[in-house]
Amino acid sequence: MLIVGSPVSPYVRKILAILHLKQLDYELDPITPFYGNDEFSKLSPLRRIPVLIDGDLVVNDSTVIAEYLDEAYPDVPVMPGSPHERAQSRWMEEYADSRLGDLCVWGLFYPKIVAPHVFKRAPDEDALAKVIDSDLPDALDWIEARAPTDGFLFGDSVGIADLAVACPLRNAAIAGWTPDPARWPKTAAWLARIAALPCYARTMTFEPAILATRADGRRAVLEAAGVKVAETSFGTDTPRASIMLR
C-alpha cells in the first residue's frame, strides 16, 4: 500500500494515524502537491493529497480513503457503529476538513510556513490577524461546545472525527497557535488525549524530516525515522503554485 503526500498535511496525517492505529504496513511518497509531477496530475486530477494506491486501486480524498480503510480492514474501526453516530462523525469530519482546514492550513500554516520558504512570499499580516483574532476562535467556540469531557467523541476509542479535528490544529500549532485551555478547556484536554495516542504521536515524529530538512533530503531523514519510503516518487524539483490538500 502506497500513500502519496507529505505527512505534515493534516489530511495525510489523518490517514497515517489510521494506518498506524490499524497496524497496516505502507510505503510513503512524501511529496507536497507543490512539487507533484505530471504523473501526479494523472494520479490525482485535482492535484490533492493524500492519494492511496492499494494494488490496482487508486483512491483520492482523505475521507474516501479513511472509509475505504475502515471497510477493507475493519478489525480496528475508526467509524462509529450506529447510523446516527456515523452521520455525526461524517459531519464533524467535514467541518474539520473544510472549516478548520481553511483556517489552520490556508489561513495560518500556508502563509506563515509554506509561502515564505517555498515561494519567498511574505504573509498578509491583516489576514493573519483576522484568522487569529476572530475566525479561529469562533470555530473553536463551536468545537468546544461539542468536545467530549473524557474519552473521545464516540466512546473510549479514537475515531476518524477525533483525528480530523486534531490534525489541522496541529498545523496551527506548528504555525504558532494553540487553543487556550482557559477558554477552551474541553478541547485542549481532548487534543492532549489524542496527541498521547501512539498512532498519532508517531506522525509527529515525522515533522522534523519535513520542516527542518530541504526537500532533496527529506526521504533519507524519513527513512532514518523508520518510515518505509517508496523507491520512486511522483515529485519534481520545481514547485507549482496551484494545489489543494484534501
How many angstroms separate the CA atoms of 218 and 131, rounded?
Answer: 30
Please give the average per-residue pLDDT across 98-126, as a whole number. 87
Any domain includes 242: no
Reply yes or no on whether the pLDDT at 41 is more than 60. yes
Grid coordinates of 127: 489576514
Q: What is the CATH number of the domain that holds 49?
A: 3.40.30.10
The answer, yes or no, to whether residue 212 has pLDDT greater than 90, is: no
Is 50 exceeded by the pLDDT of residue 80? yes
Residues 52 and 7 grouped into a single domain: yes
Instruction: Measure the CA–CA gap between 128 and 140, rounded to whole angstroms.
Output: 16
Alpha-helix residue ranges (DSSP H) falling in the chain: 10-22, 38-43, 62-72, 83-95, 115-118, 125-130, 136-144, 160-174, 185-196, 198-204, 207-211, 218-224
- Cα–Cα distance between 48 and 36 in angstroms, integer? 10
Q: What is the DSSP letter of 98?
A: I
Position 81 confidence tier, pLDDT thresholds 50, 70, 90: very high
Q: Given this model, what pLDDT does residue 242 score?
A: 47
Q: CB–CB of 154/80 below 8 Å? A: yes
Average pLDDT value over all residues in the chain: 91
In a shared domain, residues 47 and 103: no
| All three cell numbers of 25 | 504496513
Q: Let me know: does 15 contact 62? Beta carbons within 8 Å.
A: yes
Is a pLDDT exceeding 60 seen at residue 245? no
- Tell me how crowded residue 232 is: count the other CB atoms within 10 A of its CB: 8
Mean pLDDT, rounded, for 83-106: 97
Identify whether residues 73 and 100 lie together within a single domain.
Answer: no
pLDDT at 244 over 50: no
Confidence band of 187 (pLDDT split at 50, 70, 90): very high
Span 58-70, average pLDDT: 97
Higher-scoring residue by pLDDT: 239, 241? 239
Q: What does the buried/exposed string (b/e) look like for 90-117 if buried means 16 or more CB atoms within 10 Å of the residue's CB? A: bebbebbbebbbebbbbbbbbbbbbbee
Flag the least confident range among 92-106, 118-132, 178-192.
118-132
Chain-centroid distance, C-alpha 11: 3
Instruction: Say whether 84 sits in a helix, a strand or coil.
Output: helix
**Residue range(s) defining the domain that contains residue 177:** 83-200
Residues 71, 144, single domain; the answer is no
| pLDDT average, residue stretch 58-81 | 97
CATH number at residue 161: 1.20.1050.10
pTM of the model: 0.91
Q: Render pLDDT for 122-174 as a digit per residue (tens, 0 to 9).
A: 888 999 999 999 999 999 999 999 999 999 999 999 999 999 999 999 999 99
